[in-house]
Chains A and B, each alone.
Chain A
């Protein structure tokens, strides 16, 4: 498909390959932190420390966006694995 072709072209570009690991790491951190906030909010109620969270709208937003981005870039992840770039 044309759209997927565009993604593949971007993936195979040198700047993309070089920075994809950093982006992937940042996405994982985002998912982990926002996921933790959502889980704690559900379990303990509104949080006051270390963050003040009464309704976890923003963590939900970031969790969903990061998760989606990770899904869309999953192919890029596979490409990186084949090239075995050094870890950051």
Chain B
């Protein structure tokens, strides 16, 4: 049976059960991340905060100039500037919008899975897995994850509107299609992975039971706008942009080899999606037992799977297509650093497991998803412990530097400050901004290395055994 992209009744409205499910997802997500609300800022957060503060409502230049970092994400920066207006320097108020966006995305995953023809139970499973997947700390805790949250929100919203447009009479259908196009523009202006959006629409069209070439013609405006935005971005940033090789200065997007690309796409992406565990610290016994149960459940799940392959083509292709724009960065290590890049691809992963689950009957249909979710909750808790630790250390580290910087101090010299702590971004960037944030005004310039012992320097050395900054007398 071909997958039903469109619901049987195109005018199906949310039932009371759906409302109850959405409420349940809301409770689940809030419960999972409640303790992260007061986590302190980390690394790039400090830079983004300063940037957001400096905008003062002057948003137009964001749309007409390329970022100095090689990226063009004006909607993301507008969102951060807006957050600054009510959040200021309060970590809790900064984390709340991130959590709200993640909840919104979780609900959209639920609706999308339903619209793809999956059962309600499968849709609940996909959305719950998306909500508590172990790669989420970088999105929900880290301000720098805002770009991924926004682009995913608009991509999912655009997909739903497009699917709806296929179901409506021509005039109303065009309104939905225009809404989908607007979502695509907002998504692309939030983060580059949304350039995969037109290809996702092709997948949707090909997945329909009755295929019409005319529907491909409907997609032409999406491709034209995406190419135009890409050309504009190219012109603004002076090339393909993105991260650059620190040694050669070349764009990473242009230097990745075939083997690395295959390893990233076929091995690391899926390994992180299946096992989102930060191995910087050994798992505790609860997680270890959960993991063994999870491995056994997956093996049982797949060995006895009765999958209609046509139903898994869409989620599989979704993962590959949305992972492609970030390909050079997808060789994610055991510490899950940069796992936020898998936020959008994980939508496909969750729908894939839901599709496999839907092919089962009896108690297995409940037990295996239960084991999968239990493992991911345990993995999330394990990973969040590392974020809590690093956030507390970031607060205390910048406080030590602030105490060091009295009126007679002309410069703060720091040695050995780690870029990551337990796999969590620490002070690869933003130490100067962190010190300024805690002093509430300009601080003495921060320099790295112990090369300066001049009068007026405050020397600080990172003690890796205690994970603390020590003042050098």
Contact = CB atoms under 8 A, between A and B. Distances in A.
Interface of A: 1-4, 7-8, 28, 31-32, 35, 38-39, 42-43, 45, 55-57, 60-65, 67-68, 70-72, 74-75, 78
B206 interface: yes
A43 B299 contact: no
Interface in B283-309: 283, 285, 287-289, 291-292, 295-296, 298-299, 302-303, 305-309
Contacts of B207: 1
B196 interface: no
Given A45-B282, A55-B279, A75 B308 contact: yes
17 contacts: A1-B2, A3-B206, A4-B313, A31-B299, A42-B292, A57-B334, A60-B275, A61-B271, A62-B267, A63-B295, A64-B273, A64-B275, A70-B305, A71-B302, A71-B312, A74-B307, A75-B309
Contacts of B291: 38-39, 42
What are the 10 A-B residue pairs with the smallest beta carbon separation, nearest first? A64-B270, A60-B271, A61-B267, A42-B288, A55-B334, A35-B295, A39-B292, A74-B307, A4-B310, A43-B288
A57 B292 contact: no
B274 interface: yes
A72 B148 CA distance: 29
Given A42-B283, A57-B333, A67-B274, A72 B267 contact: no
B266 interface: yes
B25 interface: no
Interface in B310-331: 310, 312-313, 316-317
Nearest to A62: B267
B268 interface: yes
Contacts of B288: 39, 42-43
Nearest to B296: A35
Interface in B331-371: 333-334, 352, 356
A65 B270 contact: yes
Given A35-B295, A42-B287, A61-B268, A74 B305 contact: yes
Contacts of A4: 309-310, 313
Contacts of B312: 71-72
A60 B274 contact: yes
A74 B299 contact: no
Nearest to A77: B305
B282 to A, nearest CB: 5
B50 to A, nearest CB: 35
B206 A1 contact: yes
Contacts of A42: 277, 283, 287-288, 291-292
Contact of B307 (A28, A31, A38, A71): A71
A72 B317 CA distance: 12
A29 to B, nearest CB: 11
B402 to A, nearest CB: 36
A68 B270 contact: yes
Contacts of A45: 282
A41 to B, nearest CB: 8
Among A7, A55, A61, A78, which residue has the most Cβ atoms of chain B within 10 A? A61
Range class of the B interface residue count? 35 or more
Among B298, B302, B305, which residue has the most Cβ atoms of chain A within 10 A? B302
A35 B303 CA distance: 14
Nearest to B263: A61
Nearest to A2: B206
Contacts of B267: 61-62, 64-65
B313 A78 contact: no
B334 A3 contact: no
Contacts of B270: 61, 64-65, 67-68
Nearest to B352: A71
A72 B299 CA distance: 14
B307 A75 contact: yes
A42 B313 CA distance: 32
B306 A43 contact: no
Contact of A57 (B2, B271, B287, B309): B271
A38 B316 CA distance: 24
A50 B273 CA distance: 27
Contacts of B306: 74, 78
A29 B298 CA distance: 14
B289 A43 contact: yes
A24 to B, nearest CB: 9
B299 A35 contact: yes
Contacts of B316: 72
A75 B313 CA distance: 12
B259 to A, nearest CB: 13
Among B275, B298, B313, which residue has the most Cβ atoms of chain A within 10 A? B275
B279 A56 contact: yes
A64 B274 contact: yes
Nearest to B309: A75
Among B207, B272, B291, which residue has the most Cβ atoms of chain A within 10 A? B291
B1 to A, nearest CB: 12
A67 B302 contact: yes
